[in-house]
């Protein structure tokens, strides 16, 4: 009897229509690439038996440009409105936007169109199979979005605080002598961190892989952002 039930369930699964999905990846600078994100998304789509309708890869820093200047996101929403897609696959929610408010808005817009956002890092979708909101996913996603924004804000606050202290001490504006050399030394001290940043991994992922603190990763990230010409020593 159990074997018959197993066979029946197998047949049911085999006859299900594949879910039409969009693979959405984003990196924050021209120096980064989408390779890891797209490989992970494609691998998941194949395992889940999804039908990939489109792949959208965006190079944009969500903290610097407005929503109105994101044609790739507009393309995603256009596909959702067309009814051709039921799910958007992302490696993590921060790929939809760097600000929690913006990310939440995108997730809600897609939900209104009955399109679920599935984040690989938490293995949950924003909607249940019935099309109703997934309360557990919503709670976890909200927390993660706020944490990501806190990390971005903390980095910005530290930079501004350092600048204000320097100005108060009467130092000239601009980059102090030797700053570039110090940043170059930091970058060369953590080559794996640089590599993973260029591959589009998150701060927390890199800290775990490199066995260092998130503060260290943020410092390397800031050094690369302020001095794009810095390269690793051979």
Domain 17-135, CATH 3.40.50.1390 — does that match?
A: yes
Local confidence band at 61 (pLDDT 50, 70, 90 cut-offs) = low
pTM beyond cutoff 0.85: no
Whether residue 228 is predicted with pLDDT greater than 70 in this model: the reply is no
Residue with tokens 């961190």: 193
Give me 199's structure tokens: 């591959």
Q: What is the pLDDT of residue 19?
A: 94
Average pLDDT score over residue span 6-13 = 35
Q: pLDDT tens, 127-185?
A: 998 889 999 988 888 887 777 667 666 766 666 676 666 666 665 555 454 445 577 78
Whole-number Å distance between alpha carbons of 171 and 156: 20
Beta-ladder partners of 23: 55, 89
* pLDDT average, residue stretch 10-24: 70
- The better pLDDT of the pair 119, 203 is held by 119
pLDDT in tens, 93-121: 888 887 778 888 899 999 999 999 999 99
- Per-residue confidence (pLDDT) for residue 180, from 0 to 100: 55
Composition of the chain by helix, strand, coil, percent to 5: 55, 10, 30
What does the domain layout of the chain look like in residue ranges? 17-135, 173-226
Average pLDDT over the chain, rounded to an integer = 78
Q: Does residue 156 contact residue 98 with C-beta atoms inside 8 Å? A: no
Give which of 23, 35, 25 is closest to 199, Cα–Cα. Answer: 35
Q: Are the beta carbons of 70 and 99 closer than 8 angstroms?
A: no
């Amino acid at each position: 009897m159990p074997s018959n039930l197993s066979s029946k369930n197998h047949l049911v699964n085999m006859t299900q229509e594949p879910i039409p999905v969009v693979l959405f990846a984003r990196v924050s600078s021209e120096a980064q690439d989408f390779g890891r994100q797209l490989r992970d998304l494609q691998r998941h789509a194949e395992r889940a038996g999804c039908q990939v309708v489109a792949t959208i890869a965006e190079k944009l820093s969500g903290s610097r440009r407005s929503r109105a200047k994101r044609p790739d996101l507009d393309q995603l929403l256009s596909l959702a409105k067309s009814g051709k897609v039921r799910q958007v696959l992302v490696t993590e929610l921060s790929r939809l936007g760097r600000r929690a408010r913006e990310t939440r808005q995108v997730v809600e817009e897609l939900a209104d169109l009955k399109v679920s956002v599935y984040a690989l890092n938490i293995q949950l979708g924003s909607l249940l199979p019935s099309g109703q909101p997934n309360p557990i996913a919503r709670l976890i996603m909200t927390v993660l979005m706020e944490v990501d924004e806190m990390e971005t804000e903390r980095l910005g606050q530290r930079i501004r605080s350092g600048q204000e202290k320097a100005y108060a001490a009467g130092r000239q504006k601009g980059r102090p002598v030797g700053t570039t050399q110090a940043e170059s030394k930091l970058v060369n001290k953590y080559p794996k961190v640089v590599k993973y940043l260029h591959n589009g991994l998150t701060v927390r992922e890199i800290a775990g892989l490199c066995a260092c603190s998130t503060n260290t990763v943020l410092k390397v990230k800031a050094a690369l952002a302020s001095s794009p010409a810095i390269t690793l020593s051979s």
